[in-house]
Every structure is written in structure tokens, then in C-alpha cells.
């Protein structure tokens, strides 16, 4: 175990490899288990949007489909962007906000908010740390000269 820790401490790429794993694995499961079925099924958008608009006392109910689409977009398209590391910070911000609303929904209704909080934590870390050097953001938007 000491050898592994020593190797990781000396390896300058270990943080970027960790960020790569933090992006790829959760983003993949976020797409497959949550997002894809929502973005491809517009009939779900009204109910998804209600999870957000219910906190405004009926004032925003007309926008349920829009907010539902935004939630579906963040759980699918943004998850794809996070997976490949493109526009990672804005995409992770949308995803973490969606998971905050999902956690609040589970707290105030039925169900456990655990998965929502886990995804929230992961996307918060990506938002704060960035995607790492193994990302399309690094290729397209890096200010370092090659």
C-alpha cells in the first residue's frame, strides 16, 4: 500500500486521472440511468418541471415543461459534455443545480435524497476543480502554449 501511495504522490498526472474517473463514471451512469429516458420523452417534462416550480406557490406552473426540459437537458446533454470534458464547468453547474432540486423534492416528498446528494457532490467537485487535463476543454480552451 505504501508503494501505491508513494507512486501517486510522485506522479504529476494522478490528480488529472482522478478527475477523469470522477467525470467519466458518474456522467455515464447519469446519462444511462437518469437523463436519456427523460430527454427522449417530452411527456415527462411537465412533471419534472413541477419539482422546481412548486416552491413558487403556483406562479411558475405555466413554465413546468420548460423547467422539465432544462432538467432533462442537464441530466443527458450536460452529462455527455461532462463525460468528454467539454464546457465542463457550465455543464456541471446545471447538473448540480438539478440535483439540488431533486434532493429537495425527495426530502419534501417521499424517497431518499441520497443519490441526488451524491451526484450533487460529484458535480460540485467538477465545477470547483475543473475537468483536468484529460478533457476537450484542455485541448480547445487551454491558455498554455504548446
Per-residue pLDDT, 144: 66
126 burial class (0-12, 13-18, 19+ CB within 10 angstroms)? buried
Q: How far is CA 87 from the centre of its chain?
A: 12
CB atoms within 10 A of CB 71: 28
Instruction: Please enumerate in sequence order all residues whose Cβ is within 8 A of that of 121, keeping only pairs 6 or more positions apart, or say none.
Output: none
| Length of the chain, in residues | 146
pLDDT at residue 6 above 80? no
Q: What is the pLDDT of residues 11-65, one digit of tens each?
A: 777 889 999 999 999 999 999 999 999 999 999 899 889 888 888 888 889 999 9
Per-residue pLDDT, 146: 46
Q: What is the pLDDT of residues 97-107, one digit of tens each?
A: 999 999 998 98
Gap between the Cα atoms of 97 and 94, Å rounded: 5
Q: What percent of the chain has pLDDT over 90?
A: 67
- Nearest CA among 18, 70, 8, 21 for reference residue 42: 70
Gap between the Cα atoms of 95 and 123, Å rounded: 7
Per-residue pLDDT, 69: 95
| Average pLDDT, integer, range 116-139 | 95
Per-residue pLDDT, 73: 96
**Predicted structure pTM score:** 0.86
Q: Are 48 and 100 in contact (CB under 8 A)?
A: no
pLDDT at residue 94 above 90? yes
CB atoms within 10 A of CB 10: 8
Per-residue pLDDT, 79: 97
Amino acid at each position: 500500500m505504501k508503494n501505491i501511495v508513494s507512486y501517486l504522490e510522485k506522479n504529476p498526472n494522478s490528480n488529472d486521472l482522478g478527475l477523469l474517473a470522477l467525470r467519466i463514471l458518474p456522467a455515464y451512469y447519469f446519462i444511462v440511468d437518469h437523463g436519456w429516458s427523460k430527454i427522449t420523452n417530452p411527456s415527462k417534462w411537465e412533471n419534472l418541471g413541477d419539482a422546481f416550480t412548486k416552491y413558487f406557490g403556483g406562479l411558475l406552473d405555466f413554465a413546468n415543461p420548460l423547467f422539465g426540459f432544462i432538467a432533462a437537458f442537464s441530466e443527458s446533454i450536460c452529462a455527455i459534455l461532462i463525460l468528454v470534458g467539454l464546457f465542463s464547468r457550465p455543464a456541471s453547474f446545471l447538473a448540480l443545480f438539478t440535483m439540488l432540486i431533486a434532493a429537495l423534492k425527495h426530502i419534501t416528498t417521499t424517497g431518499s435524497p441520497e443519490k441526488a446528494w451524491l451526484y450533487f457532490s460529484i458535480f460540485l467537485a467538477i465545477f470547483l476543480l475543473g475537468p483536468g487535463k484529460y478533457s476537450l476543454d484542455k485541448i480547445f480552451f487551454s491558455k498554455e502554449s504548446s
